[in-house]
Structure 1
Amino acid sequence: MISPLIRMAALRYAVPPGLPSRTGCDACAAPVGLTRPWPALGPAARCGRCRARVGPPPGTVEVALLAAAVLLALTGPPGGALPALIWWLGWTVPAVFVDLAVHRLPDRLTLPGAAGTWLLLGVAALDADPGHWLRAVVAGTGLALFFASTALLLGRRGFGLGDAKLALSVGALLGWYGWPVLIFGLLLAFGLSALVSLGLLATRRASWSTHLPFGPFLLLGTAGALPWAL
């Protein structure tokens, strides 16, 4: 049931900025929903009516969910910040698929993800050191302001405002576990971004002016840093 929901969210919001959310298959207009015929909600990523290819590539959502399950298993037993991590993954995974498709992180995915993450970390702080939550708030706010400032000052050469909104939750999650974890997660994100950029340049699949979506690297950096923190 989770996989169709993530595919549906990615399908609906993977549209260029300024356009309304997608309501159905581009080829036959079959509506997006959880009742047949629905487009692209199965692993084959094909419309249930016309069989046109729509949404994230086949199998990618399932692989992402498997990776998320491994991450959750590595973070330990339920409790603490684990509910916040589950909530964050539920909103961030479809947001990253949208970012990969159209280079945007929609507010309808990043903002609920950030709000719920902050709230659940606040609940976790009731049974832990309240300083954890204060640090998470400072880290999330500071990281978001940094990303937003580059968007405003550097334009297309900086991060997008969608990245700044995703940073609200990324910074909070990493900051909960401490400043070294936050720094490590960011270094992972920037390092992976640099490696991919160099690889694309070396294979001539991109130029120096190519703008890569940064949401996937924030997700990977967070996923790589959290198990190290435990």
Structure 2
Amino acid sequence: MPVTLMVLAAAYGAAAGLLIPRPAHRMAVEPEEEWRAACPRGHAITGVARGWLGPGRCPDCGAYGPGVLPTATVTALVCAALAAATGARPELAVWLVMAPVAVLLTAVDWRVRRLPDELTLPLAAVAAGLLGLVGWLTGEGGVWRRALLGGLVLGAFYLLLYVINPAGIGEGDVKLALALGVALGWYGWPAVVTGGVAGVLIGALYGGGLILFGRSGRKSVMPLGPFMIIGAFGGLLLGGAAAA
């Protein structure tokens, strides 16, 4: 059963990953700019949901933002790993819903150093709502309330970092922390601490490496969202494995 579940999760992740390049290209703009309505070569983006959903490659020239193969591969591996760690537990469905959005956020933040509210805030709401449904179906209402508190605690932690160092932490990072904290909180406070601290440490190590090798200066802006997501991903794997 675990192998079958991993294969199904990987297939789902690959299919979802194929759709990521289009919205990643559209959302990778500066805060004052509107979402892109054309591919890099000027062909209009149309289709389902005003062009948000559809093939990850422009039908006219094949160009968008990130490549289809990398996004499909990464999303497939993430979903398979979550399935392997969590097993056939009901919260796996929530992680599989969140995973493609997390990959999309990573792609956007890496390209333009920002996390759109249109993704971060709905992700937190979806995580809270779906985990609430899981808690109601399984009779684990207390676990759900702890998950909500986890979101508030991790969000407050990043808000404190933002107040202390607004040049290094963005408002989008604080909003993303709400969603990640809700997910991690489902597995308890050790998962919240592990996932939250891991994200900060991995980001700090990456930034330190860039400075050490002369790739950036101390005041250079780097994306923190991808490292927050990687840290939370590790926390979910450990939490899921412990709960399985």
| TM-score normalised to structure 2 length | 0.82
CA contact (8 A) 1:3 1:41 kept: no
Deviations 1:177-227 (A, max 9, x none): 011111111222122112211221222111111222111111111111222
Provide the residue aligned with 1:21 in structure 2: 35
Kindly indicate whether residue 62 of structure 2 is the aligned counterpart of residue 48 of structure 1. no
Which residue of structure 2 aligns with residue 3 of structure 1?
Answer: 17
Displacement after TM superposition at 1:58 (Å) = 5.6
Asked if 1:111 corresponds to 2:121, the answer is yes
Alignment partner, residue 4 of structure 2: none
How far did 1:41 drift? Answer: 4.3
Structure 1: gaps (5+ residues): none
- Using a 3 Å threshold, how does the CA distance of structure 1 residues 91 and 196 change in structure 2: closer, same or farther? same
Q: Which amino acid aligns with 2:155?
A: A
> What residue is the counterpart of 2:185 in the other structure?
175
Task: Kindly report structure 1 stretches of 4+ aligned residues shifted beyond 6 Å.
Answer: none
> Identity over aligned residues, as a percent?
33
Query: Which shows bigger deviation, 146-155 or 203-212?
Result: 146-155
2:86 is aligned with 1:83:
no
Letter in 2 for 1:139: G
Task: Give the CA deviation at 1:100.
Answer: 0.4
Displacement after TM superposition at 1:152 (Å): 4.2
Report the equivalent of 1:147: 158
Q: Does the CA-based 8 Å contact 1:25-1:32 persist in structure 2?
A: no
Tell me: higher relative CO, structure 1 or 2? Use CA pairs within 8 A at least 6 residues apart. 2
Aligned to 1:206: 216
Q: In structure 1, how many angstroms separate the alpha carbons of the residues matched to 2:95 and 2:233?
A: 10
CA distance in 2, matches of 1:110, 1:209: 25
Indicate conservation of the 8 Å contact 2:85/2:238, yes or no: no
- Provide the residue aligned with 1:66 in structure 2: 76
Structure 1 residues 116-125 or 146-155, which shifts more? 146-155
Distance in 1 of aligned mates of 2:75 and 2:18:
11
Cα RMSD after superposing both structures: 2.5
Corresponding letter in the other structure for 2:152: T
CA contact (8 A) 2:25 2:64 kept: yes
Greater helix percent: which structure? 2
Aligned partners of 1:91 and 1:109 also within 8 Å: yes
Q: How far did residue 169 of structure 1 move?
A: 1.1
Q: 1:24 to 1:4 in 2, by over 3 A?
A: farther
SS of the residue corresponding to residue 165 of structure 2 reads helix
Deviates more, 1:120-129 or 1:16-25: 120-129
Q: Secondary structure at the match of 1:61?
A: helix
Deviations 1:46-82 (A, max 9, x none): x43235x430146320221122222222233334321
Against the structure 1 CA distance between its residues 62 and 204, is the aligned structure 2 distance closer, same or farther, given a 3 Å change threshold?
Answer: same
1:156: which partner in 2? 167
Counterpart-to-counterpart distance in 2, 1:171 and 1:123: 17
Do 2:17 and 2:100's aligned partners in 1 also have CA atoms closer than 8 Å? no
